[in-house]
C-alpha cells in the first residue's frame, strides 16, 4: 500500500472515536473558559498538552485556584500512562528517524495507541506502513480535538447543561478498552484496575489513577507468570528481525 492509502486507512479507523472526541473537546473548551482561562490560553493548552484527561484535571485545579506546582504534578501523574504506551509501541517505531519519532510522540494519544497497536498486531509492515497508518489516525484526532476545543471556547458556553455531554468521556475510554481485552490477563488487568480506581478515587491529586494502573499491570503480569508466559516484545522483535529487506524511504527521509 502507498503511504497515502495507509494514512487514509488510519484516518478511517479513527472515525468512530471522533464521535466521542468532538463533544469531549467541546466540554474541554467550555470548562477552560469557565475556569478563568482566556480563549488564547485555552487553545494554547489544547495544542501544547493534547491530552483530554490531563487538560480537564488541570482546568479543574485552575478553577479551584490550586498552586501551580500542584497543577503541574497532578497533570504529570495523570500522564504517567504515556510512558507505558511508548514502551509498548516503540518496537514498531524503531526504524523511524528521530524527527519522525518526535512527531509520533507529540501526537500520541489513548485512541491513537489503541487503534495502531491493534492494527500492528493484525498485519505485517509489508501489509501496512506503520508510520503513515499511525500518523493518519493520530493527525485526524489531533485536528478534530483542536477544532473542537476552539468551538467549545467560542460557542460552547451556549450549550445548555441539560445535554449532559460529560457522559461521553467514560464511554470513549470504554470504546478504546474493550477491543484490547483479548485474553484472561488483559481482562483481569481491566477488572483490577477499574475496581481499585473506584475505591481509590477519593485519594487527592488523582494518585488513585496511578495506584489502579500499577495494580492492574501487576495482576495481569502475575497471571502471565502462572501461565508460564511473561509478556515480552519477543514476537514483535522476531517480526522486525525477519523484515531485513523492508525499507521505507519515507522513514529515512
Domain spans, the chain:
3-163, 181-245
Please tell me which residue, 81 or 112, carries the higher pLDDT value.
Answer: 112
The confidence band for 155, taking pLDDT boundaries of 50, 70 and 90, is confident
The confidence band for 135, taking pLDDT boundaries of 50, 70 and 90, is very high
Three-state DSSP class for residue 65: coil
How confident is the model at residue 15, as a pLDDT?
A: 92
User: What is the C-alpha separation between 183 and 138, in angstroms, rounded?
Assistant: 27
User: What is the C-alpha separation between 181 and 190, in angstroms, rounded?
Assistant: 8
Q: What is the pLDDT of residues 1-10, one digit of tens each?
A: 578 888 999 9
How confident is the model at residue 244, as a pLDDT?
A: 37
Please tell me which residue, 201 or 29, carries the higher pLDDT value.
Answer: 29
How confident is the model at residue 33, as a pLDDT?
A: 84
The confidence band for 140, taking pLDDT boundaries of 50, 70 and 90, is very high
User: What is the C-alpha separation between 93 and 97, in angstroms, rounded?
Assistant: 9
C-alpha cell at 34: 469557565
Amino acid at each position: 500500500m502507498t503511504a497515502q492509502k495507509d494514512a487514509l486507512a488510519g484516518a478511517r479507523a479513527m472515525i468512530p472515536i471522533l464521535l466521542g472526541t468532538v463533544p469531549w473537546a467541546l466540554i474541554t473548551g467550555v470548562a477552560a473558559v469557565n475556569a478563568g482561562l482566556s480563549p488564547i490560553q485555552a487553545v494554547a493548552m489544547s495544542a501544547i498538552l493534547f491530552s483530554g484527561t490531563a487538560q480537564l484535571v488541570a482546568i479543574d485545579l485552575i478553577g479551584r485556584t490550586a498552586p501551580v506546582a500542584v497543577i503541574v504534578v497532578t497533570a504529570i501523574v495523570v500522564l504517567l500512562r504515556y510512558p507505558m504506551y511508548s514502551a509498548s509501541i516503540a518496537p514498531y517505531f524503531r526504524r523511524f528517524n528521530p524527527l519522525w519519532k518526535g512527531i509520533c510522540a507529540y501526537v500520541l494519544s489513548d485512541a491513537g495507541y489503541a487503534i495502531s497497536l491493534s492494527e500492528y498486531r493484525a498485519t505485517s509492515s509489508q501489509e501496512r506502513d506503520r508510520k503513515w497508518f499511525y500518523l493518519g489516525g493520530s493527525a485526524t484526532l489531533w485536528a478534530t480535538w483542536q477544532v473542537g476545543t476552539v468551538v467549545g471556547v467560542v460557542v460552547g458556553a451556549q450549550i445548555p447543561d441539560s445535554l449532559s455531554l460529560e457522559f461521553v468521556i467514560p464511554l470513549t475510554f470504554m470504546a478504546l478498552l474493550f477491543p484490547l481485552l483479548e485474553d484472561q490477563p488483559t481482562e483481569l488487568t481491566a477488572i483490577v484496575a477499574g475496581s481499585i480506581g473506584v475505591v481509590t478515587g477519593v485519594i487527592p491529586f488523582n494518585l488513585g489513577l496511578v495506584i489502579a494502573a500499577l495494580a492492574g499491570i501487576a495482576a495481569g503480569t502475575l497471571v502471565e507468570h502462572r501461565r508460564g508466559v511473561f509478556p515480552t516484545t519477543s514476537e514483535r522483535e522476531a517480526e522486525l528481525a525477519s523484515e531485513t529487506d523492508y525499507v521505507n524511504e519515507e522513514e529515512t527521509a
